[in-house]
Amino acid sequence: MKKLIALVLAAVMMLTLAVLPAMAEGADTKGTGVPLTIYTNSGSSGRAEWLTDRAKQDGYEITVVEEGAGAVQQRLINEGAATPCDVVFGLNAIIWNDLIARGILQAYDAPSWASEVSEGLNDPNGYYYAIVKQAILLAYDANQVSEEDAPKDWPDLWENEKFWGKYESQIKLTGGTTRNVLAGILTRYMDPEGELGVSEEGWAAIEAFFAHGTPVEDGVDLYAQMVNPDSPVLMGQMWSSGALQYDEQYGTKTGVAVPEVGIPYAVEGVGITSVTKNLDEAKRFVEWFGSAQIQGEWCEKFNTMPANEKAAEKADPRQVELCSIPAQNIDWAVVAANIDNWCEKIMLEYMQ
Amino acid sequence: MTANRTLAQGKSPLERLKITLARMTPGQMVLIVVMAAVFIWVIMALMVLPIINLLRTVFFEGGTFSLDTFTKLLKSKRAMKALRNSFILAPSLSITVGIVGISLVLITEYFDIKGAKILRLGYLTTLIYGGVTLVSGYKFIYGSNGILTTALRSVFPDMNINWFQGYGAVLFVMTFSCTSNHMIFLRNAMRAVDFQTVEAARNMGASQWYILRRVVLPVLLPSLFAVTILTFITGLSAMSAPMLVGGTDFQTINPMIHDFANMTTASAKSLAAVLSLILGLATMLLLAVMTAIERRGHYMSVSKVKTKIVKQKISNPIVNVLVHIYAYVLFIIYVIPVVMIVLFSFSDTVHIQARQLDISTFSLENYKSLLSANSAYRPFIVSILYSLAAAAVVGLLVVMACRFIQKRRNSLTSNVLEYGLMIPWLLPTTMIALSLMLNYNQSRWYMFNQPLIGTLILLLFGYIIIKLPFTMRMTKAAFFSLDNALEDAAKNLGAGEMYTFRRVIFPVILPTVMAIAALNFNSLLTDYDMSAFLYHPTNPTLGVKIKSLTEDMGTNPNGMALTFVYAVLMMIISGVVLYLVYGRGERSDLKE
């Protein structure tokens, strides 16, 4: 009898050992070499190359297609069912929700690391899971503007005369940062009766926002204006990793408004297309890519702010500080459904 | 040919067709059928059907057509103002570019000006760069921190440092940057002026000014018409100059069209479509008017034995000095922006944006970081191959089309063919890219049941399409200035049609065809709008690579400086291409 039990136990152990690799989690999930095509807007400055090489080490054969967020979105929409894309990563919540609404993505079971991601960043319905977050800030140069004199929230810019002309207003509404800022402002004024779901007050706010800003000088970034003594501009929109980058470059010291309602976060996520023919490999890749291990390496290499809290330990402390501002409560699905129409109205009626 | 016409007169179209068919050899018939099939396919499958499909989705989403788009536009002050500005810019630019362009050609080819060869190189710089880079070059001089502004400011401390802004600034930049076509096509025409006519006029006592006006200019007219249309279109679709130096007062419509076209909603796309159709129709209208004028007059040089022009010394000494001053001022205006771009490419993003030229910031870092990456070369090769292939195919297609049109002037078929190939002027590049994508994300029988998404050929199709109208317009001008006597002589000597074309006509138009191909190549090399949508996933083009350097939420703090490095590398490639095509043609010209 004892012998039998021992035998069974041994068999069970053997089986467990044999099965274990298949149940591997996170960075231990190895690829099988099935080629995957991956679209992203987060592939420049050597990221695409690094990822391709790093993935290869763990058995993944990936091709990274890298272009701007809007271009990735357009490409996926227009390629339709013919898209060669298996996995998408990067983008932001607005685009993710648009892709979901168009049926371009499929929901998939949460990868093991999904629970390590800061709350509220993953898609509640499982279409995408967050990997990196960017705080969308109202930034100013603390060397020139004291905290007391600085705006506390976006509406200060147009409501308080002393900021008029001192902040940048955009001339193109296609960028992700701009759209997140607009979403952060307009969603405060949601009104089912109002034009495009926004109250009259909301549109008046937007009108004032654009009327009192100094239009962006095409090809010159915000920080170049802030340090230019001839330019009136002292503040404007900025994404968190950009703020650190520019501080280093221009010797500025970024101060940020900390609104009571919180700030929008551009959530870079990872999703799987609904037409992929390599679903299993795609899932394995997602499991691997979003793991604390790989995201930690990614963060160290490219100074990003991981959404994965375990990987966030490796992030730059200033980055962590900027991203500790509470997130504004925004219904991204509503934003995604309306943002193009909002931008269209702003372009036609309010922009300078 | 004249005999054919007289014979065929007074017969019904069907009988005329019969006569034409009866005169053809089987070889010719096969050729005609193949050509017809190719052109019908190119026009229908690559342009008409995708565009109709796109416009249908855009305007009739939800099954009904709505007038919302028009009311929205009419209500928008900004759109109306931008549209008006575009329609102000196009004609004024046609005039200023015309004047400067003609003067450049006179300086380099007609008058005896000291240092004309160097001057010419300076005037040709617009051929190797353009767009944002070019306007940035001008801003380094005239912009708020530019060298000229800084110098003026030390004299007049209270001056407005943003003086270089608005309509005047846009017109200034564009006037000097849009003379490329004049430098090529108008110059070719100038070289075709028969010097004997000039001498004859002089012997009869005509003044220099009179000869210029009554003898030389008339020969230039057909080319002048053609390049003026191009200038008009450039003005209508101005983008970088208004964006960078237009200020809030002088924004044009094209940036708006571009932004709308890049949005995902049908409503935004319909705005883009309506606005661009307005511009497109204006272009077509101008084209029709110009064609009509062209047809009415016979502006061809009639001499059979041409004598090469001898450069004219300006007889009035004061005028001579003034013209020299003018020529060198222009040279400075042309050359300094290029010099600035090259210098700043060694600097860093911070100094580029501040427009501070500081030698201590110069280093080879930018070049090193760009050229040391192992992925750096691929986009160059991809773009060069695509541009080369597209320029060649377009050239071939258009030469065939022009030959057909030339032989059947004013017939319905040739008009349909001509305007069919002009269709891409009706819509902006972005919309054409979208139309191809949307139409070929599924298999279509007229594309041999192959979806094109994710194939290498899709972008090639895109490149070919956008270059058709320009190529068509300029090649046609070359065909029309051909001396008919040449062809008649060949025929009389018993040469067959193909032989005549191959050995008589083609060699004459080849320099123009090559020049156009070089221009096409250069502009495709940096294309972003078409590439962005259609590029093959593993083969991004240069334009896509460059654009990613300055994306929103970009990750490269030195991206701006790298775009300058790319610009300089492109200048080198473009320069080499132009030299190979154009500089060599020059030498063989001289041998003659």
| Annotated domain spans of chain B | 67-344
Q: How far is B551 from chain A (nearest CA, A)?
A: 6
In this complex, the residue of B77, B262, B374 whose CB is nearest that of residue A70 is B262
- The total number of structural domains in chain A stands at 2
Specify whether A59 is located in the same domain as A102: yes
pLDDT averaged over chain A?
A: 91
In this complex, the residue of B262, B434, B537 whose CB is nearest that of residue A65 is B537
| Distance of alpha carbon A93 from alpha carbon B431, whole angstroms | 26
Range of the domain at A242: 135-262+329-350
- The number of C-beta contacts closer than 8 angstroms across A and B is 159
Predicted pLDDT at B406: 82
Specify whether A86 is located in the same domain as A115: yes
Does A83 sit within 8 Å of B540, measured CB to CB?
no
Q: How would residue A123 be classed by pLDDT, with cut points 50, 70 and 90?
A: very high
Specify whether A255 is located in the same domain as A270: no
| Distance of alpha carbon A32 from alpha carbon B546, whole angstroms | 34
Tokens 């043609």, residue? Answer: B585
| pTM metric for this prediction | 0.87
Say which CATH number the domain at A56 has. 3.40.190.10
In this complex, the residue of B256, B451, B537 whose CB is nearest that of residue A63 is B537
Closest chain A residue to B372 measured between Cα atoms?
A46
Q: How would residue A13 be classed by pLDDT, with cut points 50, 70 and 90?
A: low
Query: Tokens standing for A330?
Result: 């925004």
Residue A174 lies in a domain: yes
Does B451 sit within 8 Å of A78, measured CB to CB?
no
Specify whether A159 is located in the same domain as A236: yes
Q: Enumerate residues 170 to 229 of chain A having a beta carbon within 8 A of any beta carbon in chain B.
A: 171-178, 215, 217-221, 224, 227-228
Q: Which residues of A289-326 are buried (b: 16+ CB within 10 A; e: fewer)?
A: bbbbbbbbbbbeebebbbbbebbbeebbeebeebbebe
Q: Any CB–CB contact under 8 A between B263 and chain A?
A: yes
Residue A126 lies in a domain: yes
Residue A10 lies in a domain: no
In this complex, the residue of A77, A218, A219 whose CB is nearest that of residue B264 is A77
pLDDT tens for each residue of chain B, 592 residues long: 444 444 445 567 777 777 777 777 787 788 888 989 999 999 999 999 999 998 888 888 666 677 888 899 999 999 999 999 999 999 999 999 999 999 999 999 999 999 999 999 999 999 999 888 899 999 999 998 899 999 999 999 989 988 999 999 999 999 999 999 999 889 888 887 888 888 899 999 888 889 998 888 888 887 888 899 899 999 998 989 999 999 889 999 999 998 898 888 888 888 998 998 899 889 889 888 887 887 776 555 555 556 778 888 998 999 999 999 999 999 999 999 999 999 999 998 888 888 888 888 898 888 888 887 767 788 899 999 999 999 999 999 999 999 888 887 778 888 899 999 999 988 888 889 989 988 998 889 998 888 888 889 999 999 999 999 999 988 988 887 776 777 788 888 887 777 888 888 888 888 889 989 999 999 999 888 899 889 887 888 998 888 878 777 776 777 888 889 999 999 999 999 988 887 765 544 443 3
Phi–psi pair at B443, nearest 5 degrees: -80, 140
Specify whether A168 is located in the same domain as A191: yes
Q: Any CB–CB contact under 8 A between A21 and chain B?
A: no
Chain A residues in contact with B374 (beta carbon < 8 A): 49
Specify whether A55 is located in the same domain as A99: yes
Chain A residues in contact with B538 (beta carbon < 8 A): 63, 65
Closest chain A residue to B239 measured between Cα atoms?
A218
Q: Any CB–CB contact under 8 A between A73 and chain B?
A: yes
In this complex, the residue of A37, A67, A98 whose CB is nearest that of residue B544 is A67
Specify whether A271 is located in the same domain as A238: no
User: Do the strands A235-239 and A190-195 form a parallel or antiparallel pair, or are they unpaired?
Assistant: unpaired
| Distance of alpha carbon B361 from alpha carbon B358, whole angstroms | 6
Distances (CA, A) of A2 to A8, A9, A330, B407: 10, 10, 63, 103
User: Do the strands A87-90 and A168-169 form a parallel or antiparallel pair, or are they unpaired?
Assistant: unpaired
Specify whether A106 is located in the same domain as A252: no
Does A44 sit within 8 Å of B553, measured CB to CB?
no
Q: How would residue A11 be classed by pLDDT, with cut points 50, 70 and 90?
A: low
Residue A124 lies in a domain: yes
Specify whether A254 is located in the same domain as A279: no
Mean pLDDT of A97-106: 95
B531: Cα within 13 Å, side-chain hemisphere: 27
| CATH architecture for the domain at B67-344 | Orthogonal Bundle (1.10)
